[in-house]
Amino acid sequence: MPTLPRLTDLRCEHLVNPLGLDEAAPRFSWKLADPRTGAAQIAYQIEVSAANAVVWDSRRIDADTSVLIPYAGPALQPHTRYHWRARIWDHTGVVTAWSETAWFETGFLSANAPWPKATWIGLSLPSADPQSVRHLCKTFRLPSAPREVRLYITARGIFEPHLNGERIGCDVLTPGWTDYRHRIEYLTHDVTAQLHAGENTLGALLADGWYAGYLTWSKTRGHYGKETALLATLRIVDADGTVHWIGTDSSWRGASGPFLSADLYNGENFDARLDARDWCTPASSSKGWKSARVLTFPSVALTAKAFGRVRTIEELKPVALTQPAKGRHVFDLAQNMVGVIRLRIRAPRGTRITIRYAEMLQADGTPYTENLRSAKCTDTYVCRGGGLETYEPRFTFHGFRYVELSGLKTKPRLDAVTGLVWHTEMTPTGTFTTSNPQVNQLQSNIRWGQRGNFLEAPTDCPQRDERLGWTGDAQVFIPTAAFNYDVAPFFRKWTRDLVDGQYETGAYPDVAPDLLKQLYPEVQGGNAAWADAGIICPWVIYQKYGDVRILEENYPAMARYIAHQEKTAVNHIRPDTYYGDWLAPDASEGGWGATPSDLIGTAYFGRTTGIMAEIARLLGRAADAKRFDKLHTKVVAAFNRHFVTKDARLAGDTQTAYLLALGFDLLPEKLRPDAVAHLDRAFGRRRHHLSTGFVGTPLLCPVLSRFGRTDFAYKLLFHDDYPSWLFPVKNGATTMWERWNSWTPDKGFGDVGMNSFNHYAYGAIGEWLYSTVGGISELAPGFKRILLRPQPHEKLTHAAATLESPYGKISSAWKRTRSTFTWTVIVPPNTTATAVPPAASLDAVKANDKPWSAHAGIRAADAFDSRPALTLLPGRYTFIMPA
Ligand code: BGC
């Protein structure tokens, strides 16, 4: 029996059955499961219904679109569940069966909608530590069991919701981090099953988090406000359909509890002797509890957090336990990670256990914590006594591989500690492996760097008193990030943070959510390669996922930013801005690198005006496109006048300068070969090693490959002495390091002022690993057209990349023996691929054991980049050719 084609992986706004969406026109996507060669869609139909009545029927639409198709029915109603299904007409004209039914549910749908019966409440506890975690709750009666209940909840601070003695959901650090002065996200929970007739208690724990805790290196707390606050409301639908609401108000009561203090940077202080486990039940006496205080704030947008939330994604077991000093027990989790631990311990009542975290050990085996700067990263747990007790910090997070316990009278067991890996939930999409274990470790380090730092914002680092959404780091890493995980929802959220942080001048901030504006009024944002994230990140998300809305949403802000650059540039040369080629080892001192920063700025000005022209065209804004094209031409001309000599030498003569000029297409065609030769010489002066920082590094291998120097790109990849990607790998790294020399065998730890062992920026090589070693890249947005082009190297006997694209799984796996090169590829339904086999001619290329031309799914194609190429229809192919 042939398998019938069917629709799978139904998603709404990139998500499976999202609860609490504020999107006026949510978008639908599906994949086609169809093993036939050439499987494709020629038409589709979507049907959306609510309460068993169809509200929108798209009817048959003759289009092959299957990704992010917007709802186009009558206005959606708030607090409503909509069901949807789709069917398609395949390439033979046959209609499939309807898909399974998926759903989405709306939230308030408006950022300014009033929350019935709810006001912001807080709790003043003058006698407690200002950072103690507040417990707030209210008991209420329901005359009958409700039909349906939703909890809408958010906080200024971070909260953990509870209902009738149980925690609701498994998210942590909610509502997450936005610029609370502009926008706060709220969460929706279906709590129908947890409420019953009679008495119920709803409550929440409330901690400082980003809102009121310590943030940045300023050693101060309360950047958004010093007092935390909670806003929550239950929407209760009775059996007869009547709706009523119960929300936060002055009738709520509160107290402090076992969390004596909690702070993201500094850690948690928990006294289990004070832990009243029934605090959120009708049975709890709440005697001595105080009334909540109603708080008022300037109005702020409340938007649904249907996108990724932070939660425990994985657990890690320690592999070793040592005692480098008396009473100090050090657990090694074998992986630098981000999150918290689960402590399981038996100890007498009142035993105070100090838990410290570190990414590295000092020579004597004790934790290296100098690089944490002022962040204390220490949790304290006071035992209840009387048996096995379990503790998981909840209102802090740490970046660590090693955990030190002290304060115990006896040696703990190895299983006393479990690492709980936290990050924003993202669907894993990519895999990449080779025959070289060090390169595989590099890929693992890149991935872990992403996991550790994709927590609410793409942060620079997860451990020291920083953890900020540095724009430059995010912009260089985003193409790689999009291979490893589906990061579209994550960046949709973060680009809103970027816009929230935009200066009145139009400059994007250095970090988002922005804090530097208020800390350093003299800082004006708009820094080259950092602020440019505002244009580059939405553009990359569009390229990787075909998401046009992120461009539409960001367009006005992007245009303001271009206007800002135009205004501040002098004769189209962007003035010196702050960070240069950050941490490039080619400058004798400082972090800025040797590449002139006005060159970097102008190169990026060229790049962003070029992108803007394309975006404007795509969005049908022809006049804008023309304007941006013109501006782009002027900037490129200025770049050449100012920074390029007649013989293609660039100001600064650094690797990064050539990489920018070549990578961003700034040089006239005829100068390019000479510029490549100068780049070669720049490598020669550095023992054929890289000398690039955050700006140049992502361009290294892609530019070398583009200009026919893949051999040299591999040479850089395989170096394992300083500075190189494999130098940290050789020295035991399990994540990406901030500096090429964060630790060296002869000098030990690098500059302690800034020495993170979990900084993903140099992981930007990941995109080249997937696209050039593995062989997968996109030719049309969302991988609707795919380029399959591995460029193998003799030092590798095999490599494989896979990507779960919006259309389904793409795969490119090759292996070689002395005589034969075997290449297996998968092209998902409803796409096409251009395949460029690594062969000088196609004559000897066989597909599935026959000459390729005998295969129904393969057609001859125009040469690609002067190489013989084939067009592949969806299907699975094994190519064999002489090695
Ligand atoms: C961060 C970087 C960031 C840089 C800006 C550092 O403190 O860790 O990753 O991009 O500042 O210069």
Residue 575 pLDDT exceeds 60: yes
199 is catalytic: no
Q: Per-residue confidence at 3, pLDDT binned at 50, 70, 90?
A: low
728 pLDDT more than 90: yes
* pLDDT tens readout for residues 549-572: 999 999 999 999 999 999 999 999
Q: Distance between alpha carbon 644 and the CA centroid of its chain, in Å?
A: 37
pLDDT at 4 over 80: no
Measured distance CA(340)–CA(649) in Å, rounded = 51
Of residues 404, 466, 767, 804, which has the active-site annotation? 466
466: annotated active-site residue: yes
Q: How far apart are CA 793 and CA 689, in angstroms?
A: 18
97-108 average pLDDT score: 98
For atom 8 of ligand 1, the residue with the nearest CA is 460
Identify which of 478, 582, 756 to mutate to test ligand 1's pocket (most ligand atoms within 8 A of the CB).
582
The token pair at 869 is: 């190429």
Q: Which atom of ligand 1 is nearest to the CA of 591?
A: 12
What is the Å distance from ligand 1's center to 555 Cα? 26
Q: Whose CA is nearest to atom 1 of ligand 1?
A: 460
Establish whether residue 460 lines the binding site of ligand 1, counting it when its CB lies within 6 angstroms of any ligand atom: yes
Residue nearest to atom 4 of ligand 1 (CA): 470
Tell me 217's DSSP state.
G
Rounded CA gap, 168 and 762, in Å? 38
Is pLDDT at 87 greater than 60 in this prediction? yes
Q: Are the beta carbons of 140 and 200 closer than 8 angstroms?
A: yes
Residue that the structure tokens 């311990």 belong to: 345
Q: What is the pLDDT of residues 468-493, one digit of tens each?
A: 999 999 999 999 999 999 999 999 99
In whole angstroms, what is the distance from residue 274 CA to residue 255 CA? 12
- Cis status of the peptide bond prior to 175, with omega within 30 of 0: yes
Distance 470 CA to ligand 1 centre (A): 6
CA angle 618, 30, 305 (to 5 degrees): 75
- Residue range 629-662, pLDDT digits in tens: 999 999 999 999 999 999 999 999 999 999 999 9
Nearest residue (CA) to ligand 1, atom 7: 754
| Average pLDDT score over residue span 139-165 | 97
Strand, helix or coil for residue 281: coil
| CA–CA distance, 505 with 365 (Å, rounded to integer) | 51
Cα dihedral 851/854/859/862 (nearest 10): 40
Residues 241, 169: Cα–Cα separation, whole Å:
26
pLDDT of 321 over the 70 cut: yes
Catalytic position from the list 160, 268, 359, 738: 738
User: What number of CA atoms fall less than 13 Å from residue 650's CA on the CB side?
Assistant: 34
* Token code pair at residue 256: 């402090």
Query: pLDDT at residue 1 above 60?
Result: no
Which residue has the CA at smallest separation from atom 3 of ligand 1? 470
Examine the pLDDT at 328 and tell me if it is beyond 60: yes
CB atoms under 10 Å from CB of 649, counted, come to 17
How do beta strands 417-424 and 310-316 pair? antiparallel
Residue 284 pLDDT more than 90?
A: no
Average pLDDT of the chain, as a whole number: 96
pTM greater than 0.85 (yes/no)? yes
> Per-residue pLDDT for 67 more than 90?
yes
pLDDT of residue 2: 55
3-class SS letters over 101-142: CEEEEECCCCCCCCCCCCCCEECCCCCCCCCCCEEEEEEEEE
Structure tokens at 59: 């009817």
Segment 841-853 shows an average pLDDT of 94
- Residue whose pair of structure tokens reads 């669907």 in the numeric block: 427
C-alpha 328/C-alpha 355 separation (Å) is: 10
- Residue among 263, 172, 173 nearest 223 (CA): 263
Distance 473 CA to ligand 1 centre (A): 8
| Res 288: pLDDT | 83
Going by pLDDT thresholds of 50, 70 and 90, the confidence category of residue 167 is very high
Q: How far is the CA of 687 from the centre of ligand 1 (A)?
A: 27
Residue 449, H or E segment: helix 437-453
- What is the atom index within ligand 1 of the atom nearest the CA of 470? 10
What average pLDDT does the segment 536-544 reach? 98
Q: Which two tokens stand for residue 581?
A: 């080629």
Q: Measured from the CB, is residue 582 less than 6 Å from ligand 1?
A: yes
Tell me the C-alpha distance between 330 and 325, whole Å. 9
731 burial level (CB within 10 Å; 0-12, 13-18, 19+): middle
Backbone angles phi, psi at 93, to 5 degrees: 90, 5
Out of 215, 216, 459, 470, mutate this one to test ligand 1's pocket (max ligand atoms within 8 Å of CB): namely: 470
Residue nearest (by alpha carbon) to ligand 1 atom 2? 460
Supply the DSSP symbol for 594.
S
pLDDT tens readout for residues 331-358: 999 999 999 999 999 999 999 999 999 9
Alpha helix (H) residue ranges in 666-757: 672-684, 700-706, 710-718, 726-730
Residue with CA at minimum distance from ligand 1 atom 5: 579
Reply yes or no: is the peptide bond before residue 723 cis, omega within 30 of 0.
Answer: yes
Distance between Cα 657 and ligand 1 center (Å)? 20
The DSSP result for 54-87, as a single string, is EEEE---B-----S-EEP-SSPPPTT-EEEEEEE
- Distance CA(30)–CA(22), nearest Å, equals 21
Distance CA 159, CA 137 (A): 12
Please give the Cα distance from 55 to 15 (Å, whole number).
Answer: 21
Tell me the per-residue pLDDT of 798-837, one tens digit each, with 9 for 90 and over: 999 999 999 999 999 999 999 999 999 999 999 999 999 9
| pLDDT value of residue 731 | 97
DSSP label at 320?
E
Instruction: Tell which atom from ligand 1 comes closest to the C-alpha of 472.
Output: 10
Residues contacting 60, CB < 8 A, separation 6+: 43, 44, 45, 89
Instruction: Please give the structure tokens belonging to residue 12.
Output: 């709404």
C-beta 473 within 6 A of ligand 1 = yes
